[in-house]
Amino acid sequence: MAIRIEHLEYVYSAGTAFERKALKDINLTIGDGEFVALIGHTGSGKSTLIQHLNGLLRGTSGRIFYKDEDIYAEGYSMKALRTHVGLVFQYPEHQLFETDVLTDVCFGPKNQGLSPQEAQREALWALEQVKLEKSFYNQAPFDLSGGQKRRAAIAGILAMHPDVLILDEPTAGLDPQGRDEILGLVKSLHEEQGITVILVSHSMEDVANYASRIVVMDHGSILLDGTPKEVFAHRSELEAAGLAVPQVTRVMDDLAQEGWIVDRNVTTCQEAAAQILNALHKEKHVQA
């Protein structure tokens, strides 16, 4: 088990007029090598939750275990935890600061205590993983495009060799092509490096094709937890939480209601196309 969360609660601005409960009794276990998508409407607590996983926020109550060790135990090194659980924030602008991309990516490994040469080796490896072209290595990070900045930011975390990679809305503000590239990159990291991935998003379309498990959050608690098919079967609950099932699932659901013999729980276009063709085929035969 990579991460286990037990009865985690978090209260913002405790004791003031602005007190707000952001997390309510969260129980969640994430296994080694899983690809989990954490989905929720804006303000559902998903970003708050992931900041607990590497100790940036400390729960008001409850416990978190990383590899069966209590991270709130006395003497547990948060700094060490942060090298195991890498967190890439939503805005790459918040972490890029050096004069060139390569030096910037070296920042993490250097903080881990590696020598400049070793740090550079890790940085080069990480940049290769995120498929950033070599010509960008010596450019200022601020001259890169949105998608390239995001790659540089991911490389900055990857260079520290985390076992768990958490990405907070990695596709926000990217065009469709950039989005597919980043998500494809995350998927290949998951498959090739065996990294446990937690992907935070509010777009069902994004995660349906990539994640093997979806956790839906609403108002600070976990609403649904299961495979994409299981989760998308709860269309009305998702819509009540301000989320939509992928368009293709919606189309199939509507077709099924119209009396077509198709599977309601379809999550990808390919599956849907096969199902529809199949149904049309049968119809044709019946007519003939």
Partner 1 sequence: MLRDITLGQYYPADSVIHKLDPRVKLLGTVLYIVSLFVFGKPVNYLLAAVFLIILIRLSKVPVSFMVRGLRAIFILMLITAVFNLFLTPGTVVWQLWKLKITKEGIRVAILMVIRLILLVMGSSLMTLTTTPNDLTDGMEKGLGFLKKIHVPVHEIAMMMSIALRFIPILMEETDKIMKAQSARGADFDTGNLIQKAKSLVPVLVPLFISAFRRANDLAMAMEARGYHGGEGRTKMRPLEYHRNDHIAYLVLAGYLAIMIAAKMLT
Q: How many residues bind partner 1 (CB under 8 A)?
A: 25
Neighbours of 115 (CB within 10 A): 10
| CB-nearer residue toward partner 1: 105 or 204 | 105
Query: What is the pattern of x (binds partner 1, CB under 8 A) and - over residues 47-76?
Result: ----x--x-x--------------------
Write down the least CB distance from residue 234 to partner 1, Å: 33
Q: Is the CB of residue 105 less than 8 Å from the CB of residue 159? A: yes
Q: Pick from 201, 214, 253: which is nearest to 41 by CA?
A: 201
Work out whether 83 is an interface residue with partner 1 (CB under 8 A): yes
Range 117-156, binding partner 1 (CB under 8 A):
142, 156
Query: What is the helix (H) or strand (E) element at residue 239, kind and residue range?
Result: helix 235-240
Range 229-268, binding partner 1 (CB under 8 A):
none
| CB-nearer residue toward partner 1: 79 or 284 | 79
Q: Pick from 169, 162, 144: which is nearest to 90 by CA?
A: 169
Instruction: Supply φ then ψ for residue 56, to 5 degrees.
Output: -75, -35
According to DSSP, the residues that pair with 222 across neighbouring strands are 217
| CB-nearer residue toward partner 1: 96 or 241 | 96
| CB-nearer residue toward partner 1: 98 or 180 | 98
- Distance, in Å, from the CA atom of 187 to the CA atom of 84, rounded to the nearest integer, reads 19
Work out whether 94 is an interface residue with partner 1 (CB under 8 A): yes
Range 10-29, binding partner 1 (CB under 8 A):
13
Residues 6+ apart with CB under 8 A from 155: 105, 123, 126, 127, 129, 130, 132
With CB under 8 A as the contact rule, the residue among 160, 186, 224, 238 that binds partner 1 is 160
Question: Footprint of partner 1 on this chain (CB under 8 A)?
Answer: 13, 51, 54, 56, 79, 82-83, 86-89, 91, 93-97, 107-108, 111-112, 142, 156-157, 160
